[in-house]
Structures are given as structure tokens and as C-alpha cells.
Amino acid sequence: MKDLIFLVDFDRTITMNDSTDELMNQFNPQMVEDYQKKFRRKEIRVRDYIKGLLESLKINKEQYKEAVTKNLIIDENFKNFLKFGYEIRVVSAGTYENIIPNFEKEGIQIPLEHIYSNKLEFTNDGIKLTFPYDKDDCDEGISKKAIVETYKERYRKVYFIGDGYSDIDAASKADFVFAKKGRYLEKFCNDNSIEFLSYETFADIIDYIAKNLGGKKCL
């Protein structure tokens, strides 16, 4: 069994803003506002939020790539976090098509097989969202909990880094959680006595690693 691994959310975790929201704000900001209200009222699930917004777009793959990279901001400290050399996996309720172009733009090299997310298909009839890691019709379209459980069988300690509602099931199974300050996951961890550290950027996580893990690569 290996020592430890970090499972990391993408939107508002690796990034400072939400890739789907920023994309939609370029084409239909009113729809984003309406969907956010529906989500807060618990009228739709995470998977419905993403699916409804993205499948409404009438653009091709290249146009999508250009738009999704236009305004997204990646935490400038994330690259320094990667320099520690720990094993990481990206686990996102967004899509591969949101993640990969932004990593490419920033020169971030994470193997495709180390990314778990939902997937877009671009056809002549429009955009279709598929859920390759769905389990039991979970709210997010991707079962982050199942992914955490899989890695707990292989690693002595699984750290989870996230921020929002789509991360709560994963956080409940992880050995330790980093929860973004002021976001839903932080409240969930507080309310459910889950061991966690609040962070604002990856600089806080880097400090934790340096103080508690020695900043050394675990083989």
C-alpha cells in the first residue's frame, strides 16, 4: 500500500472562479442567474445545473475551448503545490472540456488518466453531456465518494481538497479535508465534525504540507 494521495476538485479549488459560470456568462448570463436560484432552492441537482447550461450552447468544440479559457483564473499557488511531487488526482463535477484546455493554457501537465470528470460530446445536433463516473444516479453525475473509497484501498491516507456541495460526500470518506474558507464544504465539515483545514488559496495548503508532512515526496 502506498503512503498518501491528494484528490483535488477543480472549480473554485484549483481555479478561483467557476469555469461553467464564466463560460455561460459570455453567452447567456441570465440563464446562469436563473439556474443558480433554482439550485439554491434545491429545485435542481448539480448534474442538472451543468447539463442544462452546457447543452443550451450552440457552439462547436473550438469555440467552446476558446470561451472556456477566456476568463478562468487558476490559483497561482497550484503549480507550487504540484512541485512537492505528491500523487494527485483531479476529481470534478464539471467536464474534461473545461479542465484540460485550461491546464494546457497554463502549462500544467497532469495525465488524462489522473482526471475524473464528466464529458462533453460535440455533434451536429449540439452538445451532449455524459457521465462516465456516475453511480446510483448521484446528484453530481460523478461519484466522488466512490473515487475516494477506491483510493483508500490503495493508500494509507487520502487527502481531499474542495469547496462546494459536490464535494461533501467525498469529504465524508476522506482521511483529511481541506475546505475552502467561506464555502459550503467548510460549513458541512464544521456541522458534521469532519477533520479539516480551512484554506483560501493553495498557499495555505502548501504551508500545511511544509509543517506537517515535511514537504517531501512520498514514494
Q: What is the pLDDT of residue 137?
A: 66
Query: What mean pLDDT is reported for the chain?
Result: 94
pLDDT category, 203, cuts 50, 70, 90? very high
Which segment of 169-173, 194-198, 211-215 scores lowest on mean pLDDT? Answer: 211-215
Q: Are strands 126-130 and 88-95 parallel, antiparallel or unpaired?
A: unpaired
Mean pLDDT across the stretch 40-48?
92
Q: What is the pLDDT of residue 205?
A: 97
| 115-168 per-position pLDDT tens digit | 999 999 999 999 999 999 998 768 889 999 999 999 999 999 999 999 999 999
Q: How far is 157 from 3, CA to CA, in rounded Å? A: 6
CATH of domain 2-17+73-119+130-212: 3.40.50.1000
| 73-89 per-position pLDDT tens digit | 999 999 999 999 999 99
Q: Which residues touch 174 (CB under 8 Å, ≥6 apart)? A: 7, 148, 158, 159, 160
Nearest 5°: phi and psi at 67? -70, -40
| 95-109 per-position pLDDT tens digit | 999 999 999 999 999
Mean pLDDT across the stretch 167-174?
96
Q: Is the pLDDT reported for residue 51 higher than 70?
A: yes
Which segment of 86-90, 136-140, 172-176, 211-215 scores lowest on mean pLDDT? Answer: 136-140
Give this prediction's pTM.
0.94
Nearest 5°: phi and psi at 58? -115, 60
Q: What is the pLDDT of residue 215?
A: 63
Cell of 11: 472549480
Q: What is the pLDDT of residue 218?
A: 40
Under 8 Å between Cβ of 140 and 162:
no
In the chain, domain spans: 2-17+73-119+130-212, 20-68
Under 8 Å between Cβ of 13 and 163:
yes
Q: How far is 35 from 38, CA to CA, in rounded Å? A: 5
Nearest 5°: phi and psi at 198? -75, 140
Q: What is the pLDDT of residue 216?
A: 54
DSSP readout, 135-175?
A: -TT-TTSS-HHHHHHHHHTTEEEEEEEE-SGGGHHHHHHSS
